[in-house]
Amino acid sequence: MTVRAPHALAAALCGGIAAANAARCTEPLLAALAVGTVAAAAGAEPQRRVLALALALALAGWWWGSVRLQALDRSVLAPRVDTAERALVEITAPPRTTRFEVRAQARVRRFGSLRMRESVLLLLPKGRSPPQGALLSLVATVKEPQGPEHGFDERTWLRRHGVHVVLQASRWRLVGHRGGLGGVADTLRGHVAAPLEQVGGERGALLAGIVLGEDQGLSDELRNRFRASGLYHLLAVSGQNVALVAGGALVVAWIAGLPRVLGELLALTAIGAYVLAVGPQPSVLRAGVVGALGSLAWLAARQRDRWHFLLVAAAALLAWNPYSLFDAGFQLSFAAVAAIFTLVPRVLHELEGYPLPRSLAEAVAVSGACGVATAPILWLQFHAVPLIAVPANVAAAPAMPPLLGLSLVAAALAPVAPGAAAIVAQCAGLFAAYIAACARLFGGLPLAQIRSGRAAAAIAACTLAAAAYAWRRWRPRSSPST
C-alpha cells in the first residue's frame, strides 16, 4: 500500500511530539539536525525526499515536545508549598461545586510580590461561585495536590494539564474581569449559556452540558446513568456540534445571497467563536481544527483529505500539550473518529441487505463502530464498559440535531429578541428531557455496564473473534491470474 506524503509527514510530526513523553531531548543540536535533514532532502529523489522530510519532522517534533513538556513542568509556586500570601487569580473555567467545596481552574497573576501566569486548582468554601473570567483577590495557602486515591491520581492528572499546586482560600473578593481573548471567550460563552440557563432545572443543565460541555449542573444520579448507558459522550462537545455551527453559518450566507467565499469565511468565524465559547476541550479543539482546515482547503482550492486533517488536528493538540496523549478525552475523540472513517462504511455495506431506513442504519453503524473502538480505552481509563451503547445511541440520536440547532438559534436570538430566544430554548429543553429519559432508561437496565475484569476479558475475546471473522469477510480478495 502506498503511503501518501501528507499523511506520512503529519504522522511523523505526531510521532515525534508523542515520543517526548518517553524521552526528552531539549538540546539545540536536535533542532539543528532536523534543519540539516530538510536541507539534505532538497536534492533527493521524491520517495527519499518524503522519508527525509518525515525524519526531519519527527526530530523537530521530538525537540519541540521536549521543550513544551519542560515548560509545562516548570512551577514558581511548587517550592512555596505551605506558605500563604495575598494573591490575584483569574478564573479560567466554570467552577464546579462539590459536596464540601467549590473547585475552579484558575491562573495566578500575582502571589505576594511575585508576578506570574501559572495555572492552579483553586479551592474555595462552598457557597457562591465566582463566574468564569472573574479576577479574585484572596489570601491563599499553597498546597500539594492529592496523590493516588480510590483509583484516581489527582496529582498526575493535574501535572499533565500544567497544574502543580492547589491554592486554598477561605474568603475571596471580586475585583474585576479578565480582558483580551479570554474576555472575548467569556462574553461568547455568556451569550450562548444565557437562554439555556433560563430553561432552568434539569433540562437547562443538560442543554448546557450538551451545547457547552458543562455538566456541573447535572445530578450525580443522572451523570452516572449517562455513563452506564454509553451516552456520556453527548456531554462532550464533538464534531457534530461544530459541523452544525459551520453549516448554520453557510446557510445564513446562502440566505443572505453572499458569495461562497464569504460564506466559508463566515463559517470559519463561527467555528472560532464556538470553540472560544466552549473552551479547550480535546474533542471540540479536534473538531474545530478539522472544520477550519476544511474551509481553508476550499478557499485555497485544494483537495480535502479527512485523514490528513485529522492528523494535523492531532499534531496541533500535541504540540500545545504533549501530555494530551494520555488524556481520556483525546484518546476517545480520535479513536471514535478513526472508527467512523474505517469501520462505519463497511458496517453500512453489510447492513444494506436488511430492511432498515438509512438514518437508522447509520446510527447503528456509527454507535457500534465507536463503541468497539472506544471500549478498550474506557476500560483502561475508567475500568467500566457500557454494553447497551448501541440501542441507547440509536434511541437518543434523533433528538441531537434539533436540540443543538434550537439551542444555537436561541443563542443567536438572545441579544436581539430575548422573548423569542426563551421560547426556542424551551423547545430545545423538550429534546433534552427526552435524552435524559433515554439515559435513565438504558442506564438503569441490569448489566448496562460491566466493571468485572473477567466479564471484560470474555467480551474482549468475543470481540476479537468477531473482528477476525469480519477481517476474513471484508479482506479484499485478489483476482485469480489468467
DSSP assignment of 244-295: HHHHHHHHHHHHTT--HHHHHHHHHHHHHHHHHHH-S-HHHHHHHHHHHHHH
Q: What is the pLDDT of residue 478?
A: 46
The span from the CA of 480 to the CA of 145, in Å, is 65
Share of the chain above pLDDT 70, in %: 90
Of the CA atoms within 13 Å of residue 127, those in its CB half-sphere come to 6
Counting Cβ atoms within 10 Å, is residue 479 exposed (0-12), middle (13-18) or buried (19+)? Answer: exposed
Do residues 69 and 20 touch, judged by C-beta distance below 8 A?
A: yes
Task: Using DSSP, state whether 105 is helix, strand or coil.
Answer: strand
Nearest Cα residue to 136 out of 180, 179, 103, 91: 91
Query: b/e string for 72-95 if b means 16 or more Cβ within 10 A?
Result: beebebeebeeeebebbbbbbebb
Of the CA atoms within 13 Å of residue 219, those in its CB half-sphere come to 9
Task: Using DSSP, state whether 321 is helix, strand or coil.
Answer: coil
Nearest Cα residue to 370 out of 230, 222, 229, 237: 230
Q: What is the pLDDT of residue 133?
A: 92
Q: What is the pLDDT of residue 2?
A: 46
List Cα–Cα distances, 300 to 266, 267, 268, 293, in angstroms: 15, 15, 14, 10
Task: Tell me the pairing of strands 385-386 and 449-450.
Answer: antiparallel
Instruction: Identify the CATH assignment for 78-178 out of 1.10.15, 3.40.630, 2.40.50, 2.60.120.
Output: 2.40.50
Q: What is the pLDDT of residue 378?
A: 87
Task: Using DSSP, state whether 333 is helix, strand or coil.
Answer: helix
The span from the CA of 381 to the CA of 130, in Å, is 31
The span from the CA of 198 to the CA of 191, in Å, is 12
Ranges of residues in the chain with a pLDDT under 70 are: 1-4, 41-44, 46, 295-304, 452-456, 459-460, 463-482
pTM score, two decimals?
Answer: 0.83
At 17, list the grid cell. Answer: 511530539
In single-letter form, the type of residue at position 97 comes to: T
Q: What is the pLDDT of residue 480?
A: 46
Counting Cβ atoms within 10 Å, is residue 230 exposed (0-12), middle (13-18) or buried (19+)? Answer: buried
Domain with CATH 2.40.50 in the chain: 78-178
Do residues 285 and 237 touch, judged by C-beta distance below 8 A?
A: no
Q: What count of other Cβ atoms lies within 10 Å of the Cβ of residue 202? A: 16
The span from the CA of 11 to the CA of 57, in Å, is 9
Q: What is the pLDDT of residue 153?
A: 85
End-to-end CA distance of the chain: 23
